[in-house]
Amino acid sequence: MDDRRKTYRAWDAQLGGQQSVSPRDVLPEDDLVFFLLDAVPQLDLSTFHQYYAGALRGQPPFDVTMMVTLLTYGYSIGVCSSRKIAAACERNLAFRAIVNDDPPDFRTISDFRKIHRAAFKPLFIEALRLAGEMGLVKLGNLSTDGTKMKANASRHKAMSYGYMIKDIARLEAEIEQLLKQAEKTDAEQDAALGSRRGDELPAELKRREDRLAKIREAKARLESEARAKADEEQRRRDDEQAQREAEGRARRGKEPAPVDPTPEDKAQTNFTDAEAKIMKQSNKGFDYSYNAQAVVDAGNQIIVAAEVTDAANDKRQGVPLGQAALDNLDGAGIERPTTADGTLSPIPNTADSGYFSEEAVEKLADMGLDPHIATGRQKHNQSPVAPSAGAAPAEESVKEKMACKLRSATGKSLYAARKHIIEPVFGQIKSARGIRKFLLRGKEKVSAEWQLICLTHNLLKVWRCACGAAAC
C-alpha cells in the first residue's frame, strides 16, 4: 500500500494565539476604519464635548472622538447593537484599531448613544459639509421618499382600546377580591400576632395593581390622541362651513354625524414603545414601525435631510422635509444654484403621489424648490400619457398644472430619475447593511438613530469616492 501523503504548510495551533497583530499591518491601507480614524477628528464634535465641560469629578470618560468613531464605524457596517459592538471590540481587528487595548463595555456604548442623541443632528450636517466640500452634492434633483422601519416593540406587547376597558374591569374586580382577602388575613394575623408586624402587601395584589396602572396610562394616551384627532376634524369642518357661508353656498347632502372624541375599540397602543404605530410593511403585513423620511441628492446619492414621523401617510411630510433640506444645505455651507443675474435658482424636488397636495406644491415653490410630485398612481395596464408642449393655462388648478408639468420632457426626465436616486439608498441601508429596525425607543431617540444611520451612509459615499471606487 502506498503510504505517501500530501505535504501541508507548517502550522502551530498554539503559536497563532500568542502573536501580536497590528491592524495597520493586516488591513488594507484604504480600509473604511482608517478613513474614519482620519475623517472623524476633522469634524466639529463640540456638541459632544459640551456635555463633559462642567464634569470635573469622577473617573475620566472615554475619548469622545474615539466613541463617535466607534459608533459611526459600527453603523457603517451594520453592527448597531451595543452588545455586538462591545464584542467586536474584543474580537474584530478593525474595531481594535479604534479602541486599542481599552475597549468600552456595552453599557458605556449604549449610554453614550442615548446621552448624545441630540448631537447627531449637528454631526449629520458635518458629514454633509464634508460631502459638499468634495463636490458630491450637485443639487440637480432632490428626491423625497420614506420607508417603514420596524420599531423596537413587539405586537404581543400591545392592547386595543376595547380590550383595555374589559381588562380594567376584570383587574379592578380581582384587586377588590384580593383586598378583601388581605383584610381577612390581616384580621386573623392581628388576633394571632397582636402588635407585631405581619406580612407586606401580597405580591399578587401588587402585580395586578401595576398592570392596572399601565393599562390606565395607555387608555388615557389613546383617549388623548382621539381627542386631538376629533379637535382637528372639528376645526376642518368649521373652516369648510365658514368658506361655504362666505361663498353663499349651502351644504350638499346630509349633515355629518357629530365628531366623536372616543377612541375606536380597535385602536391600539404598545406598552414597549408608546409612540410607535402599526404600519403596513412591504409584502409582510403590519407591524409597529416608524416612517423614516429622507431627501437624497441625485449626484452621488447623498442624503441631505433625514427625519422620522409616526404618521404612516406621507401627505404632510413633503414641506417639512423640503425645509429641512434647505436648512441643512445652508448649515453645511453648500451653495445653492443661481441664475445668470445672481438670484437663487429653484432646486428640482421629485416625490411620488403620496406627497401630493395643492398646499404642499405651493409651499415648496414658495421656499425655493421646484416640485415635481405625481398627482396620482398610473395603473400597470394604462398606456403612457402623451408629452405636453408648453405650460398649462393659468386658469387650471394646481393639480392640473402639476400633471401638465410632469408630462413635459423635462418633467418626465426628472421624475423618471426619482426611483434610481432614492430607492437604492433605502436598499443600501436595509439590505446591504442589514439595518431594518430601530434599536432605540421613542420618537426622539429613534430620530437621533435615523440621523446616525443616514450620516454613516454619507460617510460611506465619501469614503468610496475618496478611494476612487466605481460606486461613487
pLDDT band at 190 (very low <50, low <70, confident <90, very high): low
The predicted model gives 224-230 an average pLDDT of 77
pLDDT band at 163 (very low <50, low <70, confident <90, very high): low
The distance in angstroms from the start CA to the end CA of the chain is 60
The three state secondary structure string of the chain is CCCCCCCCCCCCHHHHCCCCCCHHHHCCCCCHHHHHHHHHHHCCCHHHHHCCCCCCCCCCCCCHHHHHHHHHHHHHCCCCCHHHHHHHHHHCHHHHHHHCCCCCCHHHHHHHHHHCHHHHHHHHHHHHHHHHHCCCCCCCCEEEEEEEEECCCCHHHEEEHHHHHHHHHHHHHHHHHHHHHHHHHHHHHHHHHCCCCCCCCCHHHHHHHHHHHHHHHHHHHHHHHHHHHHHHHHHHHHHHHHHHHHHCCCCCCCCCCCCCCCCCCCCEEECCCCCCEEEECCCCCEEEEEEEEEEEECCCCCEEEEEEECCCCCCCCHHHHHHHHHHHHHHCCCCCCECCCCCECCEEEEECHHHCCHHHHHHHHHCCEEEEECCCCCCCCCCCCCCCCCCCCCCCCHHHHHHHHHHCHHHHHHHHCHHHHHHHHHHHHHHHCCCCECCCCCHHHHHHHHHHHHHHHHHHHHHHHHCCCCCC
pLDDT at position 25, please? 87
Q: What would the grid cell of residue 198 be?
A: 405581619
pLDDT band at 267 (very low <50, low <70, confident <90, very high): confident
The predicted model gives 9-21 an average pLDDT of 79
Which region among 13-17, 69-73, 123-127 has the lowest average model confidence (pLDDT)?
A: 13-17
pLDDT at position 155, please? 77
Residue with cell 478593525: 94
Percent of the chain topping pLDDT 70:
87
Q: How far apart are CA 399 and CA 397, in angstroms?
A: 5
Highest mean pLDDT among 27-31, 285-289, 374-378, 386-390: 27-31
Is the separation of the CB atoms in 375 and 399 below 8 Å? yes
**CA-based nearest residue to 81, from 437, 466, 443:** 437
pLDDT at position 381, please? 55
- Residues 110-135 pLDDT 10s: 999 999 999 999 999 999 999 999 99
**What backbone phi and psi angles, to 5 degrees, belong to 182?**
-65, -40
Q: How far apart are CA 78 and CA 432, in angstroms?
A: 8
pLDDT over 90 at 35, yes or no = yes
Q: How far apart are CA 279 and CA 320, in angstroms?
A: 21
Residue with cell 474615539: 66
Q: How far apart are CA 319 and CA 359, in angstroms?
A: 9
pLDDT band at 196 (very low <50, low <70, confident <90, very high): very low
- Residues 174-188 pLDDT 10s: 767 767 777 777 676
Q: How far apart are CA 253 and CA 241, in angstroms?
A: 13
Give ∠ CA 403-409-412 in degrees, rounded to 5: 55
Q: What would the grid cell of residue 361 be?
A: 406644491
Q: What would the grid cell of residue 80 be?
A: 448597531
User: What rounded mean pLDDT belongs to the chain?
Assistant: 85
Q: How far apart are CA 442 and CA 451, in angstroms?
A: 14
Give ∠ CA 294-295-296 in degrees, rounded to 5: 110
Which region among 210-214, 373-377, 451-455 has the lowest average model confidence (pLDDT)?
A: 210-214
The predicted model gives 93-115 an average pLDDT of 94
Beta bridge partners of 270: 158
Compare 380 and 466 and report the one with higher pLDDT. Answer: 466
pLDDT over 80 at 289, yes or no = yes
Q: How far apart are CA 73 and CA 79, in angstroms?
A: 8
The predicted model gives 274-293 an average pLDDT of 86
pLDDT over 60 at 199, yes or no = no
pLDDT band at 301 (very low <50, low <70, confident <90, very high): very high
Is the separation of the CB atoms in 128 and 41 below 8 Å? no
pLDDT at position 191, please? 62
pLDDT over 70 at 161, yes or no = no
